[in-house]
Amino acid sequence: DAKTTQPPSMDCAEGRAANLPCNHSTISGNEYVYWYRQIHSQGPQYIIHGLKNNETNEMASLIITEDRKSSTLILPHATLRDTAVYYCIVRVRDDKIIFGKGTRLHILP
């Protein structure tokens, strides 16, 4: 079973920052937070991951709370191509990925 809770859907205006929340209150000390997304009819795509510290790459930023019980994925300037289902996943590094239901993000023109 997925160990995360995400809102089923969210809307964001094009050009604005999209902030996707994730709760993982039972996360263990050796579990990382990963984000993947799945654009319609495509395979999932890795976005970012982190353990304790905030992380940023060319796609997004990941903000993890100090108690690690929740995190937020930030897409700084959302475009229509960011419309997708976003999955927040917690896992030990060598364990399998368990996908939950994710958040369906709609970018509005």
Q: Are 20 and 6 in contact (CB under 8 A)?
A: yes
Going by C-alpha positions, the residue among 42, 11, 36, 16 that lies closest to residue 91 is 36
First to last CA, the chain: 35
Q: x/- site string to another protein, residues 7 to 46, per CB under 8 A?
A: -------------------------x-x---x--xxxxxx
Q: Tell me whether residue 37 or residue 68 sits nearer to another protein (CB atom).
A: 37
Please give the biggest Cα pair distance in the chain: 40
Q: Tell me whether residue 7 or residue 44 sits nearer to another protein (CB atom).
A: 44
Q: Tell me whether residue 6 or residue 34 sits nearer to another protein (CB atom).
A: 34
Backbone angles phi and psi of 106, in degrees to 5: -105, 125
> Which amino acid is present at 20?
L
Single residue of 8, 58, 94, 109 touching another protein by CB under 8 A: 94
Positions in the binding site for another protein (CB under 8 A): 32, 34, 38, 41-46, 49, 85, 87, 93-94, 96-99, 101
